[in-house]
Amino acid sequence: MTASERAVELAGIAAQAASDKLATDIVAIDVSDRLALTDVFLLASGENDRQVRAIADAIEEALDKIGVDPLRREGQREGRWILVDYVDIVVHVQHVEERAYYALERLWKDCPTLALPELSRGTH
């Protein structure tokens, strides 16, 4: 099984929104073979708590524009690791320190990464 077309599409939109807020190390991991709850983990990093919040907000705005609302959002208060669950994808926006410490890519290293569209920086 591979990630659904819908999940890949949402991951691309979310990745672009993250890139627009200068997120770093944006990666989409296809976890559909290993996890029944979602198809894709989208990971992105921010340099500080404020940027982590801005990245998560931008992703929510971008997906809201196409009528996709999150099931839940966690970690907003601390701003170190914000998780936004869209069922088809789960977005993890992490402070660079949390990203290095928890190393989700290492935990899911047996899962393939998805090719993301060429990400442009800045506004559209």
46 and 95 in contact (C-beta within 8 Å)? yes
Residues 6+ apart with CB under 8 A from 17: 55, 58, 59, 61, 62, 63
Which of 66-75, 93-102, 110-119 shows the lowest mean pLDDT across its residues? Answer: 110-119
Which H helix or E strand runs over 63?
A: helix 49-64
Residue 79: pLDDT band with limits 50, 70, 90: confident
d(CA 63, CA 95): 22
Asked whether residue 96 is assigned to any structural domain, the reply reads yes
Asked whether residue 121 is assigned to any structural domain, the reply reads no
The residue that leads in pLDDT, 123 or 68, is 68
Write out pLDDT tens, residues 6-32. Answer: 999 999 999 999 999 999 999 999 999
d(CA 96, CA 79): 12
CATH number of the structural domain spanning residue 16: 3.30.460.10
Mean pLDDT of the chain: 93
Structural domain including 30 reads 5-107
Average pLDDT over residues 29-58: 95
Closest CA to 30 of 124, 111, 105: 111
Length of the chain: 124
Amino acid 72: pLDDT? 95
- Please give the tally of structural domains in the chain: 1
Asked whether residue 92 is assigned to any structural domain, the reply reads yes
Asked whether residue 94 is assigned to any structural domain, the reply reads yes
Q: What is the DSSP letter of 76?
A: T
Asked whether residue 120 is assigned to any structural domain, the reply reads no
Asked whether residue 68 is assigned to any structural domain, the reply reads yes
Asked whether residue 119 is assigned to any structural domain, the reply reads no
Asked whether residue 113 is assigned to any structural domain, the reply reads no
